[in-house]
Structure 1
Amino acid sequence: MDWIDLLSSNIYYVSRMNFSKEKPAILSLQYYSYPDAMGGAWNLTHEINKRLVERGHRVVIITCKPDDKYPDQEEINGVEFDRVSFAVSKDPIRLWHAIRRKVKHHLREEESWVAHVHHPLVGAFALTTKCYRQIPKIYHFHSSWYDEEKINLTETDQGKINLYFRLKIIRWLEWVCYRYSKSILFLSEYTRKRFLDYFPFKKPRMRIIPGGADTTKFYPSENSNELNAIRNRLGIPAGHKFLLTVRRLEARMGLDNLITAIAEIVNRSPELKFKLVIAGKGSLNDKLKSQATLSGLDDHIRFCGFVPDNLLPGYYAAADIFIMPTTFIEGFG
């Protein structure tokens, strides 16, 4: 049984007492989603939704636009996207009205539904509609939004009072979503334990569904010409080890610690020949580049920005070492 089989069985579990239909439609609630935005959780949810469609489920995503270049509605890999405009997504009152309207529109259709919630803000807003409260709900606990925002807001120096009240609201939104869910899904035992510590009330059914890799895309390559071409394109000199990390450039990803560690390695063992490639984009881009330059690491570290999905398998195959320096809230554990 693979991880989509586990998810499908969980969907059947939460829906079986409500419907006679074997395969209910899935209403996926996300603030952002792939391919509009890039990141581990967004890529994971896209793969989940795509594979649920392949197994005969209808999947509708209600999500927000990171900018207005995306259409309001479209279909990708059989998954139906229904997007909230960028301007509306940044106004909590307008977003609340938009989520309610879209939820009511879809649940009016003559189908059996199960909600699959990936973000507590969208999930909590949906709960203010009666029709949504009447369908079974699964919450996918990628991480605690409270934990992530505590790091991000502290990094941006929000002020203690503002930080306190924002975090209280976030915690309430998450707890409401958990309370109304029939089942909570986790990527690892680490995230399950964090949930147990974070949510002090009666727990819904809990299930760990580990992630996976598409081995038709990610596999060791023996094509030395292709691998050397990738290394040359990234400026990896011959005879140098290729170190790779693929991260959003945000506070919890630990990239500042990684740069500090690279500086220490260079100072202790200047004879070592290697180059670190940091792939990704984020709010700390300029700060991290400045840290690398001030540490004298321009010859040892390259920032290559966002790398499209179609190029990532080659990067992984060409690298000698992959580094994941996350300091906090890593879903894998």
Structure 2
Amino acid sequence: MQQYHAVVRNILANNVTIDSGDRVLVLSDRSTEPVASKFLDGLLANDVHAQLFIMADREKSGEEPTPEALEHILAFDATFCLTKHSLTHTSARKQAVAAGKLFVTMPGITEYILTEGAMTADSVRVERETIEMAEKITRASAAIIHSGGGSHRLRVPLEGRDGIASTGVFRGKGVGGNLPSGEAYVAPVEYAVSGTLEVNGSIAGIGLVDEPVVLEVREGRLESASGSQGARLLEMLGDGLGRQVAELGIGTNHAAGVIGDILEDEKAYDTIHIAFGSNNTFGGTIAAGVHIDCIVAGPTVEWV
């Protein structure tokens, strides 16, 4: 337990602004309750006024929290979301930030990530390198992703879209995002991404891929995904807007690896991720009620 106290102390010192007297909510679900309870204990041990609320597991990333959970979020000054699936790209996050709350999402968080993985990174370095990558994205008119040893090519138009730096450092209130973090990401031009991509890392809600999953995208829509895990991806996304390309992300956390947990995987060096579904919370126009990331390790990125 002392290890958790130290981890939380480091987060409070380097990643977030929690003022004296702030009321802090730890939002959890049944799957992550054990880690969330230890995280709560770490907050209390560091003299933070904190409370735990447990909701039912969401079925997929991007699904909204329960109405009762949203009531709690809006009643507290800051929320740490230690949940199975991501609440990052939800209306709840948007509402909390607009109301001047701190909203930190930690989907799929594990003891390993907190004590040995991405959370152990040098936050100053991660912040600097993430901002630099976001600036590169903003300058680009498109990114061409080469995967599968060069046998697959995906063109991602970015004209007029700004890169976003997810640094894992949140100054003040009215902000939100992942912790741990370390990724620069962007909402590509809608209905314009085309080509094929070999996913050889992991898929949110599925984990590490058993064999590479080849995705075919036409006019921004995922038309096919190979293998049984590709079929599962299509099932999670549904037949509607969930199949639209929502995000291009670049990992910038030197302490992260591809371990089968999307929270860490999408932050790892030498990875990119393409997500499908909602992007209306970060500069796009798609509201699909789902957001699924697909990790590619060792790609070649051509900026044009």
TM-score, length of structure 2 as denominator length: 0.35
Greater helix percent: which structure? 1
Greater Rg by CA:
1
| TM-score between the two structures when normalised by the length of structure 1 | 0.33
Bigger RCO (CA 8 Å, 6+ sep): 2
More strand by share: 2
